[in-house]
Amino acid sequence: MSRTVRALIVSLVFAFAASALAQTTLSFWSWRTEDVAAYEKFIAAFHADNPDIDVTFTPYLNTEYNTILSTALQGGGGPDIVHLRAYGGMESLAQAGLLVRLDGQVAALEGFDPGVLLGATNRADGGVYGVPFALQTVQVLYNVDMFERLGLEEPTTWAELLAVGDALKASGVYAFANGTKDGWTNETLFGAVGPTFYGGTPFFQEITAGETDFTDPRFAAALERMVALRPYLADNYTGVGYTDMQTLFAFEQAGMFAAGSYELGNMAQLNPDLRIGSFAVPADDAATPSAISFYVDGSYGINANSPHQEAALRFIEFLASQEFGQMFTDELQQISAVPGTQPTSEALAGMVEMMNEQGTPYLMLTAFRFGQPSGSTLLQNEMQAVMAGDKTVADAVTNIQRGVAEWFEGFQ
pLDDT of 44-67, one tens digit each?
Answer: 999 999 999 999 999 999 889 999
User: What is the separation of C-alpha 186 from the centre of its chain, rounded to a whole number of angstroms?
Assistant: 15
Is the pLDDT at 96 greater than 80? The verdict is: yes
User: What angle separates helix 263-270 from helix 346-358, to the nearest 10 degrees?
Assistant: 160
Is the pLDDT at 6 greater than 60? The verdict is: no
262-319 residue pLDDT tens:
999 999 999 999 999 999 999 999 999 999 999 999 999 999 999 999 999 999 999 9
Which of 89-93, 121-125, 216-220: highest mean pLDDT? 216-220
61-87 residue pLDDT tens:
988 999 999 999 999 999 999 999 999
pTM to 2 decimal places: 0.90
Q: What is the DSSP string of 349-401?
A: HHHHHHHHHHEEE-HHHHHS-SSSS-HHHHHHHHHHHHHTTSS-HHHHHHHHH
Could you tell me the CA-to-CA distances from 54 to 20, 42, 247 in Å, in that order? Answer: 12, 12, 35
Instruction: Give domain status of residue 17, yes or no.
Output: no
Residues 62, 52: one domain? yes
d(Cα 353, Cα 336) in Å, to the nearest integer? 14
What was the pLDDT predicted at 10?
Answer: 41
d(Cα 117, Cα 132) in Å, to the nearest integer? 7
Instruction: Give domain status of residue 12, yes or no.
Output: no
Helix (H) or strand (E) holding 138: strand 131-143
Last residue of a domain, one of 304, 329, 349: 349
Residues 261, 277: one domain? yes
**Exposed e or buried b per residue across 39-63, where buried means at least 16 C-beta atoms within 10 angstroms of its C-beta:** beebbeebeeeeeebebebebbeee
Residues 284, 203: one domain? yes
Instruction: Give domain status of residue 4, yes or no.
Output: no
Residues 45, 127: one domain? yes
Residues 236, 153: one domain? yes
pLDDT (mean) for 204-232: 98
Query: For the chain, how many structural domains are there in total?
Result: 2
Is the pLDDT at 176 greater than 60? The verdict is: yes
Tell me the three state secondary structure of residue 18. helix
What was the pLDDT predicted at 89?
Answer: 87
What was the pLDDT predicted at 14?
Answer: 44
Query: Which pLDDT band holds residue 22 (cuts at 50, 70, 90)?
Result: low
Last residue of a domain, one of 306, 334, 349: 349
Residues 87, 110: one domain? yes
159 or 89, higher pLDDT:
159
Query: Which pLDDT band holds residue 143 (cuts at 50, 70, 90)?
Result: very high
> Using the 8-state DSSP alphabet, how is residue 290 labeled?
P
Contact between 285 and 157 (Cβ < 8 Å): yes
Contact between 78 and 302 (Cβ < 8 Å): no
12 or 219, higher pLDDT:
219
Which of 49, 85, 135 minimizes the C-alpha distance to 332? 135
Residues 82, 151: one domain? no
Is the pLDDT at 334 greater than 90? The verdict is: yes
Instruction: Give domain status of residue 89, yes or no.
Output: yes
What was the pLDDT predicted at 63?
Answer: 87
375 or 344, higher pLDDT:
375
Residues 200, 153: one domain? yes
Residues 285, 303: one domain? no
Which of 139, 57, 133, 127 minimizes the C-alpha distance to 99? 127
Q: Which domain holds residue 227?
A: 136-294+353-411
% of the chain beyond a pLDDT of 70: 95
Q: Which CATH number belongs to the domain containing residue 312 in this structure?
A: 3.40.190.10
Average pLDDT, the chain: 94
What was the pLDDT predicted at 21?
Answer: 45
Instruction: Give domain status of residue 5, yes or no.
Output: no
What was the pLDDT predicted at 13?
Answer: 42
User: What is the separation of C-alpha 289 from the centre of its chain, rounded to a whole number of angstroms?
Assistant: 24
Residues 39, 113: one domain? yes
User: What is the separation of C-alpha 43 from the centre of its chain, rounded to a whole number of angstroms?
Assistant: 21
Last residue of a domain, one of 305, 331, 349: 349
Instruction: Give domain status of residue 370, yes or no.
Output: yes
Residues 199, 236: one domain? yes
d(Cα 218, Cα 252) in Å, to the nearest integer? 34
What was the pLDDT predicted at 328?
Answer: 97
Which of 310, 312, 313, 307 minimizes the C-alpha distance to 107? 313
Instruction: Give domain status of residue 248, yes or no.
Output: yes
d(Cα 265, Cα 254) in Å, to the nearest integer? 18
Residues 130, 140: one domain? no
pLDDT (mean) for 164-178: 98
Instruction: Give domain status of residue 217, yes or no.
Output: yes
